[in-house]
């Protein structure tokens, strides 16, 4: 079954439509994946989320997308732990008539998808994680997002004291889920110094400019290595990065560059330049 994987769409609905026209994708039998970050930056996050819901309804398991850090921002805004005025491109999702359905849809998305063809994630992995570890950890996050504790899971930093209505031990219990979510949705470089081994480094530039102690997560000899590739997005400054074992697909659509897709079976690449209107601010 041919599988087409689209990189980070970021609310660029017109660009997405243009890319879909380029893909020899057969909705009757092919699979369509995206690397997450459906929302923010571009001006039609609502349109992209509605499109994803529709694909999910029509294609079932042949459509897959994972939660990215901007999708987490959206959930945090919906939960009231982030100020949506700082992320104006997310506001229309919160104000949409079908906002509740769209937020529920995002909460119900996986954070990792493992098939015979590939492991799909948004950002990165720790070298100590095997594929089985990733699956177990991802499942716990997904269960957490479906539970009433989901607002704590999507909150950045330490859960705030305002949530003292939730018992401390529950907060502590979420530490592993919060770490899993952070790595899967935000990792780019990991520290290689012995005393800080594998800590995430806050760096989003190109790998050639990374601090000397920081290396891309996929350069470690990770336990996650397997016959099938890990497919991810998130790192626009890395650009399209195709190897046999790892495929990075964020080619900077939301930075005014291109939206890319790859067909997993033969690594054929499909690309379109961003449609400028997608990045125009709307009133």
User: Which residues contact Mn ion by CB under 5 A?
Assistant: 37, 68-69, 234
Contacts of 107 (CB under 8 A, 6+ apart): 75, 145, 146, 150
Q: Which is nearer to Mn ion, 117 or 236 (CB)?
A: 236
Quick one: 68 or 222, whose CB is closer to Mn ion? 68
Residue number, 78 or 187, with CB nearest to Mn ion: 187
Q: Which two tokens stand for residue 159?
A: 């859960």
Smaller CB separation from Mn ion, 84 or 124:
124
Contact 4, 54 (CB under 8 A): no
For residues 273 and 264, what is the distance between their CA atoms, to the nearest angstrom? 21
CB of 53 to Mn ion, least distance (A): 20
Q: Do the Cβ atoms of 53 and 108 come closer than 8 Å?
A: no
> What is the number of residues in the chain?
283
CA end-to-end span of the chain, whole Å?
Answer: 43
Structure tokens at 271: 């690309």
Residue nearest to Mn ion (CB): 234
- Shortest distance, CB of residue 10 to Mn ion, whole angstroms? 8
What is the nearest approach in angstroms of Mn ion to the Cβ of residue 24? 27
- Cα separation, 146 vs 138, in Å, equals 12
Spatial distance between the Cα atoms of 136 and 176, rounded to a whole number of angstroms: 11
Is the Cβ of residue 7 or residue 47 nearer to Mn ion in the bound state? 7
Q: CB of residue 69 vs Mn ion: minimum separation in angstroms?
A: 4
């Amino acid at each position: 079954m041919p599988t087409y994987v689209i990189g980070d769409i970021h609310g660029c609905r017109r660009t997405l439509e243009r890319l879909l026209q380029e893909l020899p994708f057969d909705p009757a039998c092919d699979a369509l994946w995206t690397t997450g970050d459906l929302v923010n930056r571009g001006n039609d996050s609502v349109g992209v989320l509605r499109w994803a819901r529709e694909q999910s309804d029509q294609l079932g398991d042949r459509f897959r997308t994972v939660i990215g850090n901007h999708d987490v921002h959206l959930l945090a805004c919906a939960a009231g732990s982030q100020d949506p005025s700082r992320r104006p491109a997310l506001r229309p999702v919160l104000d949409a008539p079908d906002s509740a359905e769209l937020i529920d849809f995002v909460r119900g998305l996986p954070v990792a998808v493992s098939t015979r063809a590939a492991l799909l994630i948004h950002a990165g992995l720790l070298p100590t994680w095997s594929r089985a570890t990733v699956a177990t950890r991802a499942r716990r996050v997904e269960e957490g997002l479906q539970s009433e504790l989901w607002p704590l899971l999507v909150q950045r930093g330490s859960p705030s004291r305002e949530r003292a209505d939730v018992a401390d031990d529950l907060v502590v219990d979420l530490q592993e889920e919060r770490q899993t979510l952070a790595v899967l949705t935000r990792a780019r470089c990991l520290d290689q110094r012995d005393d800080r081994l594998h800590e995430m480094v806050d760096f989003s530039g190109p790998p050639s400019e990374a601090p000397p102690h920081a290396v891309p997560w996929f350069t470690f000899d990770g336990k996650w290595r397997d016959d099938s590739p890990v497919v991810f997005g998130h790192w626009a400054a890395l650009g399209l990065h195709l190897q046999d074992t790892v495929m990075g697909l964020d080619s900077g659509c939301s930075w005014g560059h291109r939206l890319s897709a790859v067909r997993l079976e033969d690594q054929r690449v499909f690309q379109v330049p961003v449609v400028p209107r997608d990045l125009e601010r709307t009133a």
